[in-house]
Amino acid sequence: MDAAAAQKILKNKGQVERTVSDWKEVKSLRDDVITLADLSQEMDDDATADEARAALAELEKKLDGLETRRLLSSESDNSDAIVEINPGAGGVDAADWAGMLMRMYTRWAEKNGFTVEMFDRQDGEEAGIRSASFAVRGPYAFGQLQSEMGVHRLVRISPFDQNARRHTAFAAVNTYPEIDDDIQIDLNPADIEFSAMRASGAGGQSVNTTDSAVRLIHRPTGIAVKCSAERSQLQNREKAMKMLRARLYQLEIERRQSVQNELNAAKKKIDFGSQIRSYVLAPYQMVKDLRTGFSVGDVDRVLDGELGNFMSSWLAARAEGRLGDVQDADD
């Protein structure tokens, strides 16, 4: 058995063990809730009743997590994810907004035990980023992060406007499954245009003095990927090929989905140019998903990576076929 096959078996084994462990924890929490509730009634003790309520809240949280995992049943949901972020309309505010989104997803990954590997990051001239691409690795990373694909809209008092006016900025997020090497993607080397360039840096000792950054263009589809994370051109090329294969795989998934959507008018493809969520910081505070209608008022927590409710509501809507028309955005 080769190393790749062994690694895949170990990954599947780990997922099964995690599922069994989670259900054992649910059973234990349920028993604790019942025991504490009975004791609080027998003893008429407020402190024990408070413990029972806390255990019940923890049980509900655990069950919500298991319900979310139950909804992660599509072909690529268990894959690692490749995330790309690009600013849209809005100038410096858009570049800053793209940087805020990158931090939001990094914080979400950290809080949920995922690892993040940066592929490419181009800093903005004044603030934020011009583009970024990175991998998020862990169980069902893509299944959850696919809910973030689309255009994200920010409304706030711009910190870059001397007159303190309200500005609207946009940034686009794309997510792709990082596919296993055993999934066959037909790639003709003659269809791939390769170019090497000098990686940009922050200046000083950070500047790479060799042409190690790699750009690949798939001529039949026009898909272009870039990787500059490593100092080795060979390593950057390998990572760029992974990104390209992931993009082509996702393109095929979207093609199949578009065929299905023609048969089901209630399901409308949400692509790169569709606004999916609004983050309003002024004149009031609210984050609203325009596909599901789910909203929260604590913007700071969302921007700090608290995305679980948005992801689970999207997954539930997908399972019920409610991802049709995007609702009107709030000003």
pLDDT digits (tens, 9 = 90+) for 262-315: 544 333 333 445 689 999 999 999 999 999 999 999 999 999 999 999 999 999
What is the structure's pLDDT at 311?
93
Q: Which fold has domain 78-331?
A: Alpha-Beta Plaits (3.30.70)
> Can you list the residues of the chain whose pLDDT is less than 70?
1-5, 7-8, 11-12, 14-15, 180-184, 200-210, 256-257, 259-274, 324-331
Distance of CA 247 to the CA centre of its chain: 15
> CA 94, CA 99: separation in Å to the nearest integer?
9
Give the residue extent of every domain in the chain: 3-71, 78-331
What is the structure's pLDDT at 265?
37
What is the structure's pLDDT at 127?
93
2-38, pLDDT tens digit by residue?
665 676 677 667 667 777 877 788 888 888 889 888 8
What is the structure's pLDDT at 7?
65
What is the structure's pLDDT at 263?
42
Contact at 8 Å (CB) between 153 and 173? no
What is the structure's pLDDT at 4?
59
What is the structure's pLDDT at 210?
67
> CA 180, CA 178: separation in Å to the nearest integer?
7
